[in-house]
Chains A and B, each alone.
With several copies, the nearest count.
Chain A
Amino acid sequence: MSDFMNDTMIPLAYLFAGSCFVLSLKWLSHPTTARRGVRTGEIGMLVAVVATLFDFRIIEFQWILVAIVAGSLVGLPLGLLVPMTAVPQRTALSHAFGALAAGLVGTAEFYLSGQGADASTMIALGLEVVLGFLTFTGSLVAAGKLQGIVRDRPWVYRGQNIVNLSILASALVMVGLLVYDASLTFLFPIIIGVSLVFGVMLVIRIGGADMPTVISLLNSYAGLSAAMMGFVLNNKLLIIAGALDGSSGLILSIIMCKAMNRSFTNVLFGGFGAEDTTGGAIEQRPVRSVDPEETAFLIDAARTVVIVPGYGMAAAQAQHKVRELADALLKRGVDVKFAIHPVAGRMPGHMNVLLAEANVPYDQLHDLEAINPEFPQTDIVLVIGANDVVNPAARTDTASPIYGMPILDVDTSASIIVVKRSMRSGFAGVDNELFYLQKTQMLFGDAKTVIGGVVDELSKLPAREVAAA
């Protein structure tokens, strides 16, 4: 029986689980099937865990029980209470957990049966441990930066890259030595320590606004580390899940880099965004500014309005007010669309989640390719806390750090209203010509407050005879 369980049932259960994971991600390809995807993933996970509990090697359950209960107790609040705006931190944190698990298992494996291991296994084990522990500390720092616990500005000094790279190199060299002679066990703790340090070093030097890219990268490390664990333990399910996770992280970071027109090396070693919190010096050039009341008049008179949300909307938690505004306008017969830039905000899909949370139907959200051709026919573009993603310099100014980054061509529309608190620059730390255009007006203030104001003003206006939306 137990034999049959271990030789047949468990492998089949794992295969089933692996298939569930693939389907789970496949169904995430559309909002209407996405939740089924989650269910499927849960089922796969459940089956795999239950099957494992029948593994003959498991003889005592008390620690398992304790760990699972404790884990659930921590996981529940993390899953249910974390606000949408804190999702980036949570993601970073869970990478830390996942990577830690991989690192610890690797450690246990090394001391238990590291001596017998052949070269390839030892290499996999080494990679698992190094990736695991560096991702652990790295993700913690990233989470800290996003949460504002660790200071946001990158911590940079000359020759830093050399230092970091040599730290990493030393870790890999030691792994090499272990492959050569597994009895050099004293090296193992050092490898762990060095990896932990490197994780901190790697992330501490990166600007807060680059965290999303870093997180995705750490995501793929975590996945890779889990896959390596699979190599060490010959566990195919781990390899499958790890590879899926790894490729996901990699693809997301590539998408982000593309959308920011940056290279990995630039993100990791560029110390980019060193300026972003300092921001560009307050501009002295004149700008035309409006107040919520005027804004209400203007947009109420428009036929077509496109709203461009950015990081500022997230920072101000203004999404609900923005939704109210959109609804009010729709009711008044104005055709309202949202234009979502792939890297608007601080996380891929950031704006989509926030607006979805505020009950904006996702078919009102249009991506860059879809919306750019429409700006020329747009009467008013309302830019809410977005800056870099609407900066024409990306098209025109070859000198600009964001040159070549695909942007929303709001400057091709009839007129623009920009909501932000000051003339300060965005994450890229570059000035934005858009604000000085004749057809641009600035609506200064905290996004939530001013948009709220605009909504109130709108409600005061007399109902206009409704044009076809």
Chain B
Amino acid sequence: MSDALEISLYIFVLSSFLGYAVITRVPGLLHTPLMSLTNALSAISIVASLIFAGAGEATYATILGAIAVFASTTNIVSGFLITDRMLKMFRRRERPADKPTDTAPKGVSA
């Protein structure tokens, strides 16, 4: 097994565990923003496209790279914007929420 492959495997496995750990903690309330956010994040593949689009190695590579940059940019811009738009809308009630914990007596904690 080449070193490169070994390393990639390690990163992949660790990141997958990490993904599982953080994403299972996202409440159903935020599943739609979650979709659009991960969308924007995975558009990080733009860093690879940039190389192809800018290396000037072969015309077809430049073109393919440029299209890829275009596609990724769209996702980055729209993804972050719409996620934030959604999240802006989530707000708590002004008047004290009537959560069970709040209705329960609190003791005299200062």
A248 to B19, CA, bound (A): 7
Q: With A25-B23, A111-B60, A365-B29 in contact, is A52–B90 under 8 Å at CB?
A: no
A52 to B86, CA, bound (A): 30
A364-375 interface bits toward B, Cβ cutoff 8 Å, 1 = contact, 0 = none: 110100001101
A118 to B58, CA, bound (A): 22
Residues B41 and A245 in contact, CB atoms below 8 Å apart: yes
Residues A41 and B41 in contact, CB atoms below 8 Å apart: yes
A261 within 8 A of B: no
Residues A395 and B66 in contact, CB atoms below 8 Å apart: no
A195 within 8 A of B: no
B88-100 interface bits toward A, Cβ cutoff 8 Å, 1 = contact, 0 = none: 1111111001110
Residues A25 and B28 in contact, CB atoms below 8 Å apart: no
Residue of B nearest to A345 (CB): B32
Which chain A residues lie closer than 8 Å to B104 at the CB level? Answer: 373
Q: CB < 8 Å: which of B6, B22, B69, B90 contacts A71?
A: B69
A414 within 8 A of B: no
Residues of chain B in range 44-85 having any CB-CB distance to chain A below 8 Å: 44-58, 60-85
A435 within 8 A of B: no
A43 CB to nearest chain B CB (Å): 11
A111 to B44, CA, bound (A): 22
Residues A102 and B45 in contact, CB atoms below 8 Å apart: yes
A105-118 interface bits toward B, Cβ cutoff 8 Å, 1 = contact, 0 = none: 10111011000001
A42 to B87, CA, bound (A): 15
Interface majority SS on B: helix, strand, loop or mixed?
helix
Q: With A60-B54, A367-B28 in contact, is A359–B71 under 8 Å at CB?
A: no
Residues of chain B in range 8-62 having any CB-CB distance to chain A below 8 Å: 8-58, 60-62
Residues A8 and B28 in contact, CB atoms below 8 Å apart: no
Residue of A nearest to B25 (CB): A29
Residues B39 and A395 in contact, CB atoms below 8 Å apart: no
Which chain A residues lie closer than 8 Å to B15 at the CB level? Answer: 227, 239-240, 242-244
Residues of chain A in range 309-336 having any CB-CB distance to chain B below 8 Å: none
Of A89-97, A274-282, A292-300, A458-466, the segment with at least 4 beta carbons within 8 Å of chain B is A89-97
A234-254 interface bits toward B, Cβ cutoff 8 Å, 1 = contact, 0 = none: 111111111111111101100
Residues A101 and B72 in contact, CB atoms below 8 Å apart: yes
Interface extent on B, as a size class?
35 or more
Q: With A21-B44, A111-B61, A241-B44 in contact, is A395–B109 under 8 Å at CB?
A: yes
Which chain A residues lie closer than 8 Å to B6 at the CB level? Answer: 11, 15
Residues A76 and B77 in contact, CB atoms below 8 Å apart: yes
Which chain B residues lie closer than 8 Å to A177 at the CB level? Answer: none
Residues of chain A in range 28-48 having any CB-CB distance to chain B below 8 Å: 28-31, 34-35, 37-38, 41-42, 44-45, 48
Residues A120 and B1 in contact, CB atoms below 8 Å apart: yes
A190 within 8 A of B: no
Q: With A24-B41, A104-B68 in contact, is A76–B78 under 8 Å at CB?
A: yes
Residue of B42, B53, B70, B77 with most partner-chain A CB within 10 A = B42
A28 to B26, CA, bound (A): 6
Residue of A nearest to B6 (CB): A11
B32 CB to nearest chain A CB (Å): 4
A334-375 interface bits toward B, Cβ cutoff 8 Å, 1 = contact, 0 = none: 000000101000011110110011010111110100001101
Q: With A101-B68, A108-B60, A244-B19 in contact, is A356–B39 under 8 Å at CB?
A: no
Residue of A52, A71, A375 with most partner-chain B CB within 10 A = A71
Q: CB < 8 Å: which of B20, B30, B57 contacts A28?
A: B30
Residues B32 and A105 in contact, CB atoms below 8 Å apart: no
Residues A98 and B50 in contact, CB atoms below 8 Å apart: no
A197 to B13, CA, bound (A): 31
Residue of A nearest to B42 (CB): A245
Residues B78 and A357 in contact, CB atoms below 8 Å apart: no
Residues B82 and A248 in contact, CB atoms below 8 Å apart: no
Residue of B9, B13, B70, B75 with most partner-chain A CB within 10 A = B70
B38 CB to nearest chain A CB (Å): 4
A49 CB to nearest chain B CB (Å): 6
A320 CB to nearest chain B CB (Å): 12
A287 within 8 A of B: no
A335 CB to nearest chain B CB (Å): 8
A247 to B9, CA, bound (A): 15
A311 CB to nearest chain B CB (Å): 14
Which chain B residues lie closer than 8 Å to A233 at the CB level? Answer: 48
Q: With A57-B54, A94-B75, A372-B109 in contact, is A41–B37 under 8 Å at CB?
A: yes
Residues B17 and A22 in contact, CB atoms below 8 Å apart: yes
Q: CB < 8 Å: which of B21, B28, B84 contacts A348?
A: B28
A467 within 8 A of B: no
Give the B-binding residues of A (Cβ under 8 A). 7-8, 11-12, 14-15, 17-19, 21-22, 24-26, 28-31, 34-35, 37-38, 41-42, 44-45, 48-49, 52-53, 55, 57-61, 63-64, 66-68, 70-72, 74-76, 78-80, 82, 84, 87, 90-91, 94-95, 97-98, 100-102, 104-105, 107-109, 111-112, 118, 120-121, 124, 215-216, 219, 222-223, 226-227, 229-231, 233-249, 251-252, 255, 340, 342, 347-350, 352-353, 356-357, 359, 361-365, 367, 372-373, 375-377, 395-396, 409, 411-412, 469
List 14 A-B pairs, Cβ < 8 Å. Answer: A30-B27, A31-B87, A41-B40, A44-B41, A79-B82, A101-B69, A104-B64, A121-B4, A216-B35, A222-B42, A227-B15, A248-B23, A251-B24, A395-B109
